[in-house]
A and B are shown apart, each in its own frame.
Chain A
Amino acid sequence: MVEKFDVIVVGAGPSGNSAALRLAQAGLSVLQLERGETSGSKNVQGAILYADALEKLIPDFREDAPLERHIIEQRMWVLDDDSYIGSHYRSDAFNKQPYNRYTMIRSQFDKWFSERVQKAGALVICETTVTNLLLDNQRVIGVQTDRQGGEIYADAVILADGVNSLLAKKAGFHPELQPKDVALAVKEIHFLPQELIEQRFNVKDDEGVVIEMVGKITKGMMGTGFLYTNRESVTIGVGCMLSDFKKQNTTPYALLEQMKAHPAIQPLIQGGEMKEYTAHLIPEGGYNAMPDLYGDGWMIVGDAGMFVNAVHREGSNLAMTTGMHAADTLIELRKEGKEFSKTNLKRYQSKLDESFVMKDLKKYKDMPDVFHTNPQFFNDYPEMLSKAARTMLTVDGVDKKTKEKEIRHDFRRRRSLFGLVGDAFKLWRAFE
């Protein structure tokens, strides 16, 4: 028997689940295919859930979604070898419902999300890999899976198959990923008793803390580290650009081991039992590295389309939003009785352009290049800042004016006046 659906969604991460949920709710026949054992079994994220994107899809998600802690404090640390200088922002305003951000454990969250998708009426089939797209001339008409009798047809296929979308690559929708456009991140979850977490991070109930880190922990490579508090565990991880790992000839786990031994970080995770170790690629090429996002009978959503805001560590919210817009495009076209042609699917691009997704990605489009070519932001500045703070805070009989001079001298020695001005300009241009 030939199976035919309105839409096939490939992948059951946040973007695929969002698309499938929306489509099924609108009454379209949806098949979602996932290669992992369950939704979420192949997925890796820090993980912070930004409520806004999910709320648009599932307004009552807070009632039963498996959430860990809502974030009331954000720390930004710049680290050198044995110190950090940073800022903490904590506000009781973050303690007012509805909360804005949560930590979560993706394997549990994705399972919950997938249940919602199935309840909405989508047919979800796991442990099935889509190996090829079925084409009629240039038009996508279905998918081929790795199972016997695996040809399935659809009016449209949404590619939500994650970073390094082999499907899109095979179909020629986008070229091979470049090492400079992807980060490799590793993370560990360490089990710690709830009371200990609350003591160490000065929180109570389900309040949580986020620590974002830059500096010498990445050994001059473009990347960041992070530490999140879950209910009964702490997530710690680090990610750098793949091209930098290659250049430095170092491994992610070595980097994470060193980071865990940092005197500012070690006491926070001490005594924890490691429960989970995962690694994943993150598409961080930004706007300039994005593939074509739609064509005849197909659309790309989520990581597969490079929808990650590396500067603000946002990804899953972009994934959900792109999944939602892709679904809405198809729902509208179906209502209007229009076919899913390339011309008509342009509406997906317009929706994205109008949303925060494209606006943010455009804003930071030069950021990857700036950081790729200027390692001083990850090496020299953390050390300079740390030294400056140490100089000012050490009471040793030297007057403050002399100390200031010393700091200025150190900055100029390391980056030159021209370099300092240039760096400031580069950052300003990139963030503008």
Chain B
Amino acid sequence: MHIVVCIKQVPDSAQIRVHPVTNTIMRQGVPTIVNPYDLFALEEALRIKDQYGGRVTVLTMGPPMAEAALRKAISYGADDAVLVTDRVFAGSDTLATSFALASAIKQINKDMPVDLVFTGKQTIDGDTAQVGPGVAKRLDMQLLTYVSKIRSLDIENKEIVVERRSEGGVQVLKTKIPSLITVLEGNNEMRFATMANMFRAARYPVKIWNKDAAGIEDITKTGLKGSPTVVSKVFAPTPRAVKAEIIQCESNEPKDLSVTLLTKMFTKFPKIEKEISKRAA
């Protein structure tokens, strides 16, 4: 069983600030983290490895500093890590990114056949949820999105049964592997790395692949050239002009509370009061 987990290094959104003058995101000095959804995917992969044996390879595309995210994944117990990095990838949108990742996975597949590809359901910086499906399409793999649980894996018959959260309930789906699964948050918790794995991660030589190593020949499908999406403008939402207000009420009885609230509302919006009394009449 060989599982490739695609991860992404993202800025810690809890610590992002918007430049008050230029309105652009200030990335300088903002700590980076592994996209939290990807950690759920990684943990799910590690659990399958614990149960059925095999190998977990983590893969990311990004700048050289993204190596730190891969090292972290190694500390949790991943076996191998590949960083796909090249100047030609700069400015990639989800289409170009899925192209590069799919190419890299084909290379990884040569080393040991890939049975499953896991991704988080989406990243917290892009929020598109498009890269996983894009990779599945390019690799011609079965695609299962929003998977909340992996129920069982039948290695002999090459079948996997998962739970998928959907509108109105949970679907239980069975499909053939190889397949690509995007994992939802919250159904598992990342393990605490052992000391031995911390040492392994600190010493592990991350595989750094440029476009050639990743098997990419057609560079028009990468970077800005291969990215039809154009972000024409980024702006911070204007703060609401109306300020919130805490309405004080001496009693805690529901009736008194509602009277206080309605009085306040009707004083501020007499039209509403008129309308209601008209209807009541």
Contacts and interface: CB of A to CB of B under 8 A. Distances in A.
B29 A107 contact: yes
A381 B88 CA distance: 66
A128 B31 CA distance: 18
A125 B199 contact: yes
A41 B31 contact: yes
Contacts of A191: 17, 20
A60 interface: no
Interface string B175-199: 0000000000000000011111011
A157 to B, nearest CB: 16
B30 to A, nearest CB: 10
Given A123-B203, A150-B195, 12 more contacts: A3-B195, A108-B29, A123-B202, A125-B199, A125-B202, A128-B195, A147-B192, A147-B195, A148-B195, A149-B196, A151-B195, A275-B17
Contacts of A193: 21
Interface in A182-218: 191, 193
Contacts of B21: 193
Interface in B15-48: 17, 20-21, 29, 31
16 contacts: A1-B196, A3-B195, A41-B31, A107-B29, A108-B29, A123-B199, A124-B202, A125-B198, A125-B199, A128-B198, A147-B192, A148-B192, A150-B195, A151-B195, A152-B195, A273-B17
A264 to B, nearest CB: 25
Nearest to B19: A191
Contacts of B29: 105, 107-108
B39 to A, nearest CB: 14
Contacts, number: 39
A225 to B, nearest CB: 25
Contacts of A147: 192-195, 198
Contacts of A149: 194-196
A147 to B, nearest CB: 4
Interface in A35-80: 37-38, 41
A426 B198 CA distance: 54
Interface of B: 17, 20-21, 29, 31, 192-196, 198-199, 202-203
Contacts of B198: 125, 128, 147
Given A147-B192, A147-B193, A3 B199 contact: yes
Nearest to A148: B194
Nearest to B12: A37
A145 interface: yes
A145 B196 CA distance: 11
A150 B194 CA distance: 8
Nearest to B29: A108
Contacts of A273: 17, 20
Nearest to A273: B20
Interface in A407-426: none
8 nearest A-B pairs in the assembled complex, by CB-CB distance: A147-B195, A148-B194, A150-B195, A149-B195, A125-B198, A125-B202, A149-B196, A123-B202
B182 to A, nearest CB: 27
B202 A37 contact: no
A152 B21 CA distance: 50
A191 B21 CA distance: 11
A149 B194 CA distance: 7
A72 to B, nearest CB: 24
Nearest to B193: A147
B64 to A, nearest CB: 12
Contacts of B196: 1, 149
A37 B195 contact: no
A117 to B, nearest CB: 12
Interface string A263-290: 0000000000101000000000000000
Contacts of A151: 195
Contacts of B195: 3, 128, 145, 147-152
Most buried by A among B193, B198, B202: B198
Nearest to B68: A38
Contacts of B31: 37-38, 41
